[in-house]
């Protein structure tokens, strides 16, 4: 299974599989340790039970992570193909699961160009205004409070805006990948990297 990095298309599906396998293995090991204690000592009161109990901690964490990924809504193949037809050389990140204090926002794709942050969601239940507000709040501490944030729930309108931004990128000769690659640790994060850092 080829590794898919955060922001790449297919990230949620890849990590779903990984979380399911990790949780199953972790649970199996925990149960085997507990069963070994019962077989050897014929009692729950053994060091094996303590080790099994400690094993429940990473198993529980993995199970929670798995449930969140199963609930997440990844970018579809169809939407991905449409985006590729319009994005040109814009830097597109996919499969954001943005968490706030009381809810999760499923953002299927995003790009940043010239003080514009645009996103697309296929989640019909998402409170778009609330998500835009949350992203703006997360951007502000790094000095990006003046950036325009727009989330589209219509793929065609999102692609139309992508085409507009791609024309702007060409006119200004902006290389988004070069900007991301030139970032140095210890300096202010780029808006695109902040979007990734606030996503699971």
List the domain boundaries for the chain.
11-71, 77-197
**Residue 104 main-chain phi, psi, to 5 deg:** -115, 140
H/E stretch holding 18 reads: helix 11-41
Q: What is the pLDDT of residue 44?
A: 82
Q: Average pLDDT, stretch 190-194?
A: 94
Q: What is the pLDDT of residue 13?
A: 96
pTM of the model: 0.87
Segments of the chain assigned E as strands = 93-99, 104-113, 116-120, 148-152
Q: What is the pLDDT of residue 101?
A: 85
Is the confidence at residue 127, as pLDDT, over 90? Answer: yes
* Each residue's pLDDT tens digit, 80-121: 999 999 999 999 999 999 988 888 999 999 999 999 999 999
* Each residue's pLDDT tens digit, 136-183: 999 999 999 999 999 999 999 999 999 999 999 999 999 999 989 998
With helix as H, strand as E and coil as C, how does 151-192 read? EECCHHHHHHHHHHHHHHHHHHCCCHHHHHHCCCCCCCCCHH
Is the confidence at residue 1, as pLDDT, over 80? Answer: no
Record the tokens describing residue 151, joined without a space.
């989330």
* Each residue's pLDDT tens digit, 35-89: 998 888 888 888 888 998 998 999 999 999 999 999 999 999 999 999 999 999 9
- CA distances to 24, 34, 150, 176, 197 from 180, rounded to whole Å, are 37, 48, 21, 6, 14
**How many CB atoms sit inside 10 A of residue 100's CB?**
15
Residue carrying the six token digits 């606030």: 198
Record the tokens describing residue 167, joined without a space.
């024309």
- CA distances to 24, 35, 52, 183 from 28, rounded to whole Å, are 6, 10, 10, 42
């Amino acid at each position: 299974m080829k590794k898919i990095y955060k922001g790449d298309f297919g990230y949620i599906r890849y990590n779903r599989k990984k979380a399911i396998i990790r949780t199953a293995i972790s649970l199996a090991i925990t149960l085997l340790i507990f069963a070994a204690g019962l077989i050897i000592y014929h009692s729950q009161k053994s060091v094996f039970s303590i080790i099994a109990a400690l094993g429940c901690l990473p198993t529980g964490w993995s199970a929670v992570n798995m449930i969140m990924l199963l609930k997440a809504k990844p970018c579809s193949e169809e939407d991905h193909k449409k985006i590729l037809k319009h994005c040109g050389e814009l830097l597109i990140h996919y499969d954001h699961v943005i968490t706030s204090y009381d809810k999760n926002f499923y953002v299927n794709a995003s790009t940043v160009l010239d003080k514009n942050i645009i996103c697309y969601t296929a989640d019909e239940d998402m409170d778009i205004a609330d998500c835009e507000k949350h992203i703006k709040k997360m951007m502000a501490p790094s000095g990006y409070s003046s950036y325009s944030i727009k989330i589209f729930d219509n793929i065609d309108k999102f692609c139309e805006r992508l085409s507009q931004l791609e024309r702007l990128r060409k006119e200004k000769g902006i290389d988004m990948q070069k900007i991301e690659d030139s970032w140095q640790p210890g300096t202010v994060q780029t808006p695109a990297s902040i979007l990734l850092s606030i996503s699971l």
